[in-house]
Structure 1
Amino acid sequence: MPEWRNWSGSVVARPAEIASPRTEAELAQIVRRAPRLRVAGSGHSFTPLCETDGLLVSLSEFEGRLEVAPDRRSAWAPAGWSLDKLTRALWDEGLCLPNQGDINRQALAGALATGTHGTGRELKCLSAISRRFRLMLADGSVVTCGPDEREPLYQAQRLSLGLFGVALAVEIEVVPAYHLEERIERRPMEEVLESFADWGGELRHAEFWVFPYSDVAIVKFLHPAEDDGGFKEPGQVDETVFRLCCELSAAAPKFTSTLQRLLVRGSGKSRRVGPAHRIFPSERTVPFEEMEYELPRESALTVLSEAIAWIRKAELPVTFPFEFRWTAADDIWVSPFNAGDCAAVSMHQFARMPWQGLFAEGEAIFRGAGGRPHWGKRHTLTREDVDRLYPRAEQFRQVRREHDPDGKFLNSHLSELFS
């Protein structure tokens, strides 16, 4: 029996078959015969979205090409392309995505289906850039949906969790190509708490990382800039020191706080300017587990401080930093951002250290503050929680029942929430 694992290795699927169709006709034949089917992208989600004992489909080899609209404000893109491949192709056309996160290995369809986002006061998650979808339904037929065509299906498909069909192509919003200046600096955490709102308002992108045992944060500022001609493709990231600190913390947890202070002290100041699609992503080589909650923006820094205080008081061996970003509100049915402007607080743990109990306690803090989880990150939502957080959840389920009455695209994890 074949085996599939996600990026961190914690989600293991043993599907009956893994298929990599190249053509629409081949895919349709596969979809029609499969009683259960999930589509796998790059496996960057930490929740078991791709877990299945049925058929697992990869679109990495699927046919398709980029088609830019005459007005150059949108483009049809193959849904199975990675964000890396997509953004390089857009750049060759003089175009960019409006925003990106710091991972570009995700498939376009997977990023949209889970509400992947970057940071920016006025910038929404990637799901909000979709204008139309070409979608293969459970019976193998292909439909197009958009604001003026099969509108309920379009609204549900914008953040779909892969429940309505196999996305073949997506019409996405694009913008003229631009360069970004990136500045990374160390700042006292006290200053970050006082000034982040100002920084986030002045600059297009601002975010920071803070280790729970350090009083210093690592802040990243990104802002459009003129090309200075000095950009060089980054080499392979060397995370040897960080990996060693994680391994030492796993072996001797009592040294975690000391190691973190040394790590931050050794971090430097940097600046570079380059094409936006090359500046946004960062390489990750040390495996981790992640939980992320989207919190009301006005209270998020206070909640982060509460979470750090809890870890320090309990002397918990948390090896990775928290990450803090802003994301603008949207109107997508089951988007974590549809209740208003948010701040995303991400909590990580080294993959070879216990994380289940840690995340459970942290989740109680975030949920108590009105947070909603990122769909691709660890959470323990129940069906009742989904209904409470998302007033249109039952409408979302109804569209699923209409287009997939036999539950072909469900798995056990999603059945508990949306069957």
Structure 2
Amino acid sequence: MKVLMFGWEFPPHILGGLGTACYGITKGLSMQPDMEITFVIPRTWGDEDQSFVKILGANSTPIVWRDVAWETVRDRLGKFMAPQEYYRLRDHIYADFSYIHTNDLGCIEFSGRYPSNILEEINNYSIVAGVIARTYDFDVIHAHDWLTYPAGLHAKSVTGKPLVIHVHATEFDRSRGKPNPVVYGIEKDGMDHCDKIICVSNLTRKTVINNYHQPEDKVVTVHNAVDPLSPEIEAIERLAGVPEKIVTFLGRITMQKGPEFFVEAATQVLKRTNHIRFVMAGSGDMLNQMIHMVADRGIADRFHFTGFLRGKQVYEMFKSSDVYVMPSVSEPFGISPLEAMQCGVPCIISYQSGCSEILNYVIKTNYWDVDAMADSIYSLCTYPGISEFLKEEGKKEANNIKWEYAAQKVCDIYNQLVYR
């Protein structure tokens, strides 16, 4: 089975959970027999792990023919692809894209992030997808999240191959039910014209069926998972010199994640005890608002903001935490609690998160129930019996939720579409 996969992030360059999920899915698929994956991202950096997947950058794919010397291609793109790959792609340019700004190699520049001109980059990415789809041999197309749906649709239109779209989040989740009509339109167009929709939870599946008006038999759930911790991560020790208990929020500081409820719960807990410190790790459009909120509540001496954490830093934070809290208002899945559980951290999550469907050894509250959240935090930091139980059983549970098992379900979906 040959898969042409479109994504917006891939480790080690990640901006959120999407890149982590894409890595896990491709790694799990690589464990399936006779599986070959070409993963396209807007921009390659040259340090991606290609031991199990072929990474292709849209920024290295020519869409305008240029008479470029072999040595120039080797010197400019050698870190990202072999020169013959560039010429192979160049010879499959199928239309006149000279009206689009390209560099001297005939390639479009991509930020590799989420820039202010994101809609322009999505459109340019879909154009590049046409060149790639005409160049490579594959059986099925797999597009992750709304940013890549137009690319998947373009690849499907020029090849006729089946398209699977993977819904990691919807605009209803990101906007608390007030979707941007442009983003909603892109999402719905992808759902209407693909062959199968994979959702990361039953919660998301319900949203897709009810709010995007998709037939039930077209939409399936494949829950996310986690990779086993490496020996390097396992060896990380708790931060020294902090005698207090540490309670952590780690994620994008946006309204979808419910950071204000974490601050309110912290305020209540600190009225009862002073042996706890609270940490909000991440960045987002509500960061300044949360800083002011913490100051207004008078808890700034017990509350810390770390900024965005990546890679090993995430696990250093988990390893130094006594409780992890994810009070998301609408979380399609939420991988971070599983990562925290792997590190032996008891977790409190909202019922409104997809991972609550498969996790048993966590404490669950409604995101708005600040009283219950505060009581749970206080109990875990005060009574070691409860904490130790969730620490031990949670780690066992998380370690058994593997990407290999999720990938088996994805592979079954591919087979149904290709061999139907």
Shorter-chain-normalised TM-score: which range? under 0.3
Could you say which structure has the higher strand fraction?
1
| RCO higher in structure (CA 8 A, sep ≥6) | 1
TM-score between the two structures when normalised by the length of structure 1: 0.28
